Amino acid sequence: MRTCSLHKSERRFGAAIVAPATVFLLSTFLFPMLYMLYLSLHRVQLSNFRGVWEFVGTKQFLRVLRDPGFWVVVSRTLQFVFLSVGLEFVVGLLLALGFYSLFKKANFLTTLVVIPVMLAPLAVGLMWRYMLSIDHGFVNQLLGLLRIPSIPWLSIEPLPIVGNLSLFGRQLSDVLNLNWGFLAVVLIDVWQTSPFIFLLLLAGLRSLPGDPLEAASVDGASYWQTVRHIVLPMLRPIIGVSLFIRTMDSLKAFENIWALFGNSVVMRTLNIQIYTYDIQMSNYGLGSAASVLVLLLALIPTCIFLKYLEG
């Protein structure tokens, strides 16, 4: 009897301290999500915002899904995610291996590399917009010192690899975003966030037991053999986590692209598309339909990862 009542008061105390956060999260996540679903099924625009919202069923979803422009945006977003996360992983891994194998401690240097991770993506985007400007931007000035001609970074000029193809060059660069502007978007993202992967992998490397690595090098394994067959397999969990976090973050990307190209159709990703429906077109119903679709897209990697955490 006593233990039972104790148990009850214990549970009550736990519930009481979790309650404020729970209520807050439910009203700021669950309620807006349900409301978004409601909006997506109704015609809600600036013109009838204060009036009656007519029920239109799945009409707005179909409008989004039938818009060829939407699919271009989806493919560009996926390309941005895979390309930037892939490059970030390569850069982050090389940096982590370099720091781990060359320096005992490099606190200042490590922190210097990490600074960009903490900065506002909008300000970073604007900074690079200035540095990459074609005529006398800093990057082109530096390239000029090496006698490399100016590069039209922030344009949709095709990259040389496809630009030189006379037949399908233009089409290839349009479909696969093989232009300088898209490359700049990806590289700026890599500049800002590969330090995050670097930091996680460095922490992972430092937490590895030293013995197997020493043993391998005594056995005469080369540096790259040790990395490939021993270090990378041991780092697998942390590589998984860092790739997942970065994938989800790059699905959220908006400001850095916005800072470089604003609302321009040629660089739109899903978040900018939603912004366009919402702010530029003031079509809240249509924007909600697109938002529901993007949320479903973000759900796929999240479920995979939560499954992986469970298993």
In the complex, what is the shortest distance from the CB of residue 190 to another protein, in angstroms, rounded to a whole number? 10
Q: List, in sequence order, every beta strand (DSSP E) within 16-57.
A: 42-43, 54-55
128 makes contact with another protein (CB under 8 A): yes
Q: Which region holds residue 57: left if phi is over 0, alpha if psi is between -120 and 50, else beta?
A: left
In the complex, what is the shortest distance from the CB of residue 274 to another protein, in angstroms, rounded to a whole number? 5
The site for another protein, by CB under 8 A, has a size of 102
Structure tokens belonging to residue 8: 């009850």
Site for another protein in 20-39 (CB under 8 A): 20-22, 24-25, 28-29, 31-33, 35-36, 39
259 and 129 Cβ atoms separated by less than 8 Å: yes
187 makes contact with another protein (CB under 8 A): no
Site for another protein in 139-178 (CB under 8 A): 141
55 makes contact with another protein (CB under 8 A): no
241 makes contact with another protein (CB under 8 A): yes
- Three-state DSSP state, 41: coil
Site for another protein in 254-283 (CB under 8 A): 254-255, 258-259, 262, 270-271, 274-275, 277-279
Residue type, 187: L
Return the number of the residue (119 or 165) whose C-beta is nearest another protein: 119
In the complex, what is the shortest distance from the CB of residue 235 to another protein, in angstroms, rounded to a whole number? 11
130 makes contact with another protein (CB under 8 A): yes
Candidates 62, 120, 232, 304; binder of another protein (CB under 8 A) is 120
Residue 39's Cβ-count burial label (10 Å; 0-12, 13-18, 19+) is: buried
Q: Which of 290, 294, 239, 230 is nearest to 77 (CA)?
A: 294
Q: Which region holds residue 38: left if phi is over 0, alpha if psi is between -120 and 50, else beta?
A: alpha
